[in-house]
């Protein structure tokens, strides 16, 4: 257990952040942890031989790391693509999976059905969750990501010009399934919020124009966020890439409670927080490249500075800019956690530690 | 509007069919391939690059414009070769070893091609030996390397080292780009240049061409 015994998980802390308020202690947020990081956090309790084992391991890893929640994915809603496995590759191509190339292949595509998902894993796994912690479900890729996955990115770009009705039809089929997925997740009392995970941009632009996003993607998320709020829960957007052209859509139109994913090369989290505080909770933001290449001390200090910046104002949870892949050295990740643990020991985290 | 302007606009307005038809018309009228390249294609793609840089165009617009450019290029390329029209320079490009991400690299290739450079695309997951071999075989002016993650970016210095070991370092300029890269990292690893996006990659190569011509 990395957290101390008196830092008990309590979703109420994260809830304060999602309400853009100041939590009573430093709150941590992460979307994904690499397998080795989960091993490090769970030690001898690490299990991965079944899906249920993996879910329980994630619950234990997030508990050990001092989080107030555990992310969870319910398997089964997978939009099949062609797989192209290269054993030593660390990345994949967004062009490679393409299976829908025209109307005919669209008609023949075997769409995954929500009935393939066994949502009861949420209540079954809940017995491993700390009594005050909650689940935050996410999906196997978001709406744009899945459409890119089955069409291929470059083909999708051309299709937007060459066969707009087909593009609309594909987004509709994907969108309604992602909507149903979150609808099912939201019916569980163990769920406190949802992560709507969909990369919309890259370092300089959105992946398709804001106009196209507004037409094909955002209406679905708007509905999912309404549904989330109607259930008394919170909607977190995990979306990478440049977002300035769509930030008003995120806040004003789709009405997300929080946004996750920040990169130093786009808008460092410090600047993002200054621009967004009070309107949208800012989660994470310690740039992944920075966490991979800096020393643990630098990470500890930047994390502490970020906690100091947001102390009193609220609406911030400490975490990485994207996730903790295993190429971030363990000690660097642990330095960030330590910054949160140490912060709360300083008069409720409100004083200046230096 | 002249036919040359019509072709240039077809590229800027992302209309591949119109570009192809207009190129046919131009060739039927006896307009030279070099004129089509220099007066329509390159300025057209420059404008597309500017619109992308300014945030008016997104990747889909650039890709459809590149399709229009390719429609023209496939018709004039044999004539350029026949006529001995020299390309502006040769660039070997690839995504670094361990990395299959190709979108950024493809965009950079397209923009450089549209700027009149000959592109040798080595694809993705390209290791140091493959880069060195390509330099030996193709004798390019530049090598452009793309990476998606910090974990793959760290393979770029191995390529630079291998180029040095092969005694080729002063024969090529090494340019780098991709989401996790920065100007500072490019300098740290001894690359000659860094471009944050595809249109900047074109500007960078042009600046370097000018600097070389001036020396
Ligand atoms: C001269 O030579 C030159 C010059 C210019 C050059 C050049 C060469 N090459 C490129 N350029 C430049 O010109 C191009 C056009 O202007 C640009 O090319 P790009 O390639 O940058 O842009 C393309 C047009 C589109 N770009 C993209 O499609 C990438 C966009 C972002 C959002 C992204 C996406 C979409 C994805 N990802 Co991920 N992803 C991110 C990206 C965030 C970002 N800022 O880019 C990044 C790259 N991802 C990241 C991470 C961490 C990960 N991702 C992952 C997964 C994914 C998805 C599968 C969801 C998806 C697809 C990934 C893929 N393989 O294509 C994971 C692993 C990836 C894998 N196995 O492939 C995972 C490890 C997450 C996890 N824990 O599992 C981060 C890397 C951080 C780092 N420093 O290492 C990241 C920066 C996001 C972030 N918020 O921090 C310029 O960079």
Specify if A275 maps to a domain: yes
Report in angstroms the alpha-carbon separations of A75 from A36, A50, A111, A114, A305: 21, 12, 15, 10, 38
Residues near A296 by Cβ (< 8 Å), separated by ≥ 6?
Answer: A329, A331, A332, A334, A335
Residues from B in contact with A at Cβ < 8 Å: 14, 52, 55, 58-61, 63-64, 67, 98-104, 106, 124-125, 148-152, 179-180, 182, 196-197
In three-state form (DSSP H/G/I as H, E/B as E, the rest C), the secondary structure along A147-167 is: HHHHHCHHHHHHHHHHCHHHH
Rounded Cα–Cα distance for residues A237 and A347 (Å): 32
Q: Give the residue, by CA position, lying nearest to ligand 1 atom 68.
A: A91
Token pair for B170: 């002063």
Give the CATH number for residue A156.
3.20.20.210
Q: Are A71 and A138 in contact (CB under 8 A)?
A: yes
Q: Closest Cα of chain B to A293: distance in Å?
A: 8
**Residues forming beta bridges with residue B119, ordered by sequence position:** B91
The widest CA-to-CA distance across chain A, in whole angstroms, is: 65
Report in angstroms the alpha-carbon separations of A94 from A231, B16, B101, B106: 35, 24, 7, 12
Asked whether the beta carbons of residue A208 and residue B58 sit closer than 8 angstroms, the reply is yes
- Counting ligand 1 atoms within 8 A of each CB, the residue from B141, B179, B198, B206 with the most, and so the one to mutate, is B179
Distance B45 CA to ligand 1 centre (A): 25
Residues near A36 by Cβ (< 8 Å), separated by ≥ 6?
Answer: A326, A330
Q: How many residue pairs bridge chain A and chain B with CB atoms within 8 Å of each other?
A: 93
Render each residue's pLDDT in chain A as its tens digit; 354 residues: 899 888 999 999 999 999 999 999 999 999 999 999 999 999 999 999 999 999 999 999 999 999 999 999 999 999 998 876 666 777 767 777 789 999 999 999 999 999 999 999 999 999 999 999 999 999 999 999 999 999 999 999 999 999 999 999 999 999 999 999 999 999 999 999 999 999 999 999 999 999 999 999 999 999 999 999 999 999 999 999 999 999 999 999 999 999 999 999 999 999 999 999 999 999 999 999 999 999 999 999 999 999 999 999 999 999 999 999 999 999 999 999 999 999 977 645 444 444
**Which atom belonging to ligand 1 lies closest to the Cα atom of B93?**
2
Residues from A in contact with B at Cβ < 8 Å: 84, 86, 88-96, 153-154, 156-158, 160-161, 202-209, 212, 245, 263, 265, 288-289, 292-293, 325, 327
Question: Tell me, which fold does domain B90-214 have in CATH?
Answer: Rossmann fold (3.40.50)
Q: Are A274 and A252 in contact (CB under 8 A)?
A: no
Token pair for A143: 């709406």
User: Helices B59-82 & B103-114, crossing angle to 10 degrees?
Assistant: 50
Please state whether A33 falls in left (phi above 0), alpha (psi between -120 and 50) or beta.
beta
Domain, as residue range, for A221: 11-82+94-346
Q: Give the residue, by CA position, lying nearest to ligand 1 atom 55.
A: A91
Question: Tell me, which fold does domain B3-82 have in CATH?
Answer: 1.10.1240
Domain count across chain A: 1
Token pair for A2: 């990395």
pTM score: 0.96
| Domain ranges within chain B, ordered by starting residue | 3-82, 90-214
Token pair for B107: 């965009």
Rounded Cα–Cα distance for residues B7 and A118 (Å): 56
Residues in chain A within 8 Å Cβ distance of B103:
93-95, 153-154
* Ligand 1 pocket, residue B105 CB under 6 Å: yes
């Amino acid at each position: 257990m990395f957290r101390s015994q008196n830092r008990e998980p309590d979703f109420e802390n994260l809830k304060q952040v999602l309400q853009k308020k100041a939590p009573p202690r430093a709150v941590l947020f992460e979307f994904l942890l690499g397998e080795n990081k989960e091993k490090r956090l769970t030690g001898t309790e690490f299990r991965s031989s079944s899906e249920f084992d993996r879910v329980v391991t994630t619950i234990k890893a997030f508990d050990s790391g001092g989080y107030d929640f555990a992310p969870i994915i319910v398997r089964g809603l997978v939009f099949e693509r062609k797989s192209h496995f290269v054993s030593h590759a660390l990345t994949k191509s967004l062009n490679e999976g393409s299976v829908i190339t025209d109307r005919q292949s669209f008609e023949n595509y075997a769409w995954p059905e929500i009935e393939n998902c066994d949502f009861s894993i949420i209540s079954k796994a809940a017995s491993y969750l700390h009594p005050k912690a909650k689940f935050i479900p996410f999906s196997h890729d978001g709406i744009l990501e899945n459409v890119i996955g089955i069409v291929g990115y470059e083909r999708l770009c051309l299709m937007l010009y060459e066969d707009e009705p087909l593009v609309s039809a594909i987004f509709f089929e994907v969108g309604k399934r992602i909507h149903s997925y979150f609808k099912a997740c939201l019916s569980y009392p163990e769920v406190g919020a949802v992560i709507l995970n969909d990369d919309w941009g890259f370092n300089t632009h959105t992946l398709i124009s804001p106009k196209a996003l507004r037409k094909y993607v955002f209406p679905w998320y708007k509905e999912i966020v309404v549904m989330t709020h109607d259930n008394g829960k919170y909607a977190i957007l995990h979306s990478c890439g440049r977002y300035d052209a769509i930030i008003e859509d995120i806040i004003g139109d789709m009405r997300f409670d929080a946004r996750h994913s920040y990169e130093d090369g786009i808008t460092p989290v410090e600047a993002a927080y200054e621009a967004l505080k009070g309107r949208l909770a800012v989660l994470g933001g310690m740039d992944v490249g920075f966490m991979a290449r800096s020393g643990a001390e630098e990470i500890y200090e930047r994390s502490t500075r970020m906690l100091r910046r947001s102390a009193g104002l609220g609406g911030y949870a400490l975490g990485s800019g994207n996730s903790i892949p295993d190429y971030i050295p363990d000690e660097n990740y642990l330095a960030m956690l330590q910054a949160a643990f140490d912060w709360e020991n300083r008069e409720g985290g409100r004083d200046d530690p230096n | 509007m002249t036919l040359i302007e019509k072709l240039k606009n077809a590229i800027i307005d992302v209309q591949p069919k119109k570009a192809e038809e207009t190129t046919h018309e131009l060739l039927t009228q006896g307009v030279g391939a070099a004129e089509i390249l220099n007066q329509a294609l390159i300025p057209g793609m420059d404008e597309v690059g500017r619109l992308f840089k300014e945030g008016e165009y997104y990747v889909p617009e650039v890709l459809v414009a590149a399709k229009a450019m390719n429609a023209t290029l496939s018709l004039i390329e044999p004539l350029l070769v026949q006529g001995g029209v020299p390309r502006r320079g040769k660039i070997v490009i690839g995504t670094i070893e361990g990395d299959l991400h190709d979108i950024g690299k493809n965009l950079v290739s397209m923009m450089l091609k549209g700027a009149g450079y000959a592109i040798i695309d080595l694809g993705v997951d390209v290791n140091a030996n493959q880069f060195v071999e390509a330099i030996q075989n193709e004798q390019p002016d530049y090598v452009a390397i793309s990476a998606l993650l910090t974990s793959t970016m760290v393979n770029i210095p191995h390529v630079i080292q291998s180029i040095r070991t092969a005694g080729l370092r002063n024969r090529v300029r090494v340019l780098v780009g991709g989401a996790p890269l920065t100007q500072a990292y490019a300098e740290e690893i001894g690359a000659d240049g860094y471009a944050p996006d595809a249109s900047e990659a074109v500007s960078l190569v042009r600046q370097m061409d000018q600097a070389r011509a001036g020396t």
